[in-house]
Chain A
Amino acid sequence: MDSQRWSRTGFLAALGAGAGALALPSDAAVMNMVNQRPYDWATPLDELGQSLYTPNNIFFIRSHMGPPATTPADTWRLTVDGLVDRPLHLTLADLRAFPKHEVPAVLQCAGNGRFYYGDAYPDASHPAGAQWRTGGVGNARWGGARVRDVLAKAGVKAGAHFSTNFGRDNPVLPTTPKFVRGIELAKLMDEDTLLVYEMNGTPLPYYHGFPVRLLVPGWAADHSVKWITNMTLTDRITSAFWRGIGYRYPNTIGKPGVGVKPNVEHPVTVLNVKSILTAPATHSSVKVGAPVAINGFAWSGDGAYATAVDVSTDGGATWVPATLGESPGKFAWRTFTLTWTPKTAGGTRIMARAKDNRGAVQPMKSPWNPGGYIWNGIHSVDVEVSNA
């Protein structure tokens, strides 16, 4: 169980008591609520484990400001300007006219796992932010146009090194910084960076950025701006809040629980090696002599991919290689599985530890950082083994 899981009855009761016409952003009957408003919804592990690609209706939702008013497809425009030869104002039809590409990729919130810093560093202040556990991640097939094809049409001028991107979502108060994200042009020009209009073969759902969002695979999901309307190429990175102050990581790891000034931090960009156990469920009961399927997913960040997962069924004392599934793409996650037959009764802890092609290995716990970003500590579930 990931977080605060609501039964359908409980959720509807809450709606009736509080929200009236509040719409369901996804399949709320199974999602775990991280924040009610703006929407932050996590996918439960058992649901994630049902398929290699996370269905759209249970894909996690992260909202900085809450969704914008819906955008009729025929009025949406993407403006590409700044250091370009020919500023563009593309319609959805214009975008669809570019060659379509599909990229299977993990999308993970930079703060996914922030909750666990609190357990791992019990004497320190917890990092500030939404308390995601395991469910701020999903894997989907993203379809759309390559950003570099669009930029080629605009003509990138010499001296352009960054892009400032934002979408139609706006803060409640005009004094709150709009979600504006800057990104290096080199990453935008990657062949797998897309302007996405399809998710798992269907039009991009509203809460995932309809009609168009960025996909910046291998990087924290805040780069994959939803409801995108503007890309402005510049010679220097924006100092906007969500790049200049937010989503930053200390240059030097300091004392747990102590804040760090943004000027001695750098932006959180590339994801790290990670795995999650989707089965068995934590606190489930298994029997001596009865085989148990240990399943999960493993992935890594830009330029890397998971190459091995070791599993422990004795709390980390010994490790056994799991069987990895085929990789559907360098940015997607892979399945891993191991059949375990318990031999003795009692409580035990199952753990998974992924490695990637660069030699990175999941640590027991990630270094504490004030924003609680890119947690990739070893995931575990506790099970009770009973005599058959």
Chain B
Amino acid sequence: MRNALVIVAILTLAACSSAAKTLDATTSAPAVVAEVTPMSASQDMASFGGTNLPAGRELTDLQTSCQICHSSDMWYTQRLSKPMWDAEVTKMMKFGSPLPKNDKAAVVAYLAKYLGPTVPRRAGPPTATAPPLSYGGPPPAR
């Protein structure tokens, strides 16, 4: 089932890629149009220098079930409580994520442990050139 969905996703994106070449020359669309090539999970992660998340079944679940539709930064930039991670994972499973039901509890616990509210946020990829702005109030407590 999971493989089938990945294939559907790739075919969908490939179709977009093909159709993109029919761009009307009179439009203002960029010269190079959206030839969206799906990245493998490892490529997606590598593009950010990794997320410092420990390897294991949970990480593999994230890579194979979530990165069908979005890149890994959708989770590694967030810092949510366990109930809110649970709500996000539940929503994504309703959206069609092929995450195995039996893995859900472990994945939610993993996200809450390694990407919970008390985990410092990363400054960004290695090429980031400056720290983030402060929000305008007193300096953050952590």
Contact = CB atoms under 8 A, between A and B. Distances in A.
State yes or no: do A and B come from one complex: yes
Contacts of B94: 175
A18 B79 CA distance: 25
Contacts of A281: 130
A80 interface: no
A57 B8 CA distance: 32
Contacts of A33: 73
Contact of B27 (A126, A210, A283, A365): A210
A378 B26 CA distance: 43
Contacts of A134: 133
Contacts of B43: 17-19
B48 to A, nearest CB: 8
Interface residues of A, number: 84
A227 B15 CA distance: 18
A13 to B, nearest CB: 8
B78 interface: yes
Residue from the set B27, B77, B80, B135 with the largest chain A CB neighbour count within 10 Å: B135
B112 to A, nearest CB: 9
A306 to B, nearest CB: 17
Given A72-B24, A172-B69, A203-B27, A23 B32 contact: yes
Contact of B44 (A18, A21, A23, A72): A18
Interface string A26-64: 000000011111100000010000000000000000000
A259 B133 contact: no
A173 interface: yes
Interface string B1-22: 0000100110011011111101
B133 A2 contact: yes
B30 interface: yes
Interface residues of B, number: 70
Given A74-B24, A172-B13, A173-B96, A1 B140 contact: no
Contacts of B35: 21-23
Nearest to A176: B95
B34 A23 contact: yes
B94 to A, nearest CB: 8
Given A1-B131, A35-B74, A259-B87, A20 B37 contact: yes
B135 A380 contact: yes
Interface in B127-141: 127-137, 140-141
B32 to A, nearest CB: 5
Interface string A165-199: 00000111111110000000000000000000000
Interface stretch (A98-106, A115-123, A144-152): A115-123
B55 interface: no
**Closest 10 interchain pairs by CB?**
A175-B96, A10-B127, A4-B124, A69-B19, A125-B81, A1-B130, A206-B29, A116-B135, A203-B28, A378-B136
Interface of B: 5, 8-9, 12-13, 15-20, 22-24, 26-30, 32-37, 39, 43-44, 46-48, 68-71, 73-74, 77-81, 83-84, 87-88, 94-97, 116-117, 121, 124-137, 140-142
Given A6-B125, A74-B24, A281-B130, 8 more contacts: A10-B127, A18-B47, A72-B23, A116-B136, A119-B140, A172-B68, A211-B27, A379-B136
5 contacts: A4-B128, A23-B33, A204-B28, A206-B27, A377-B136
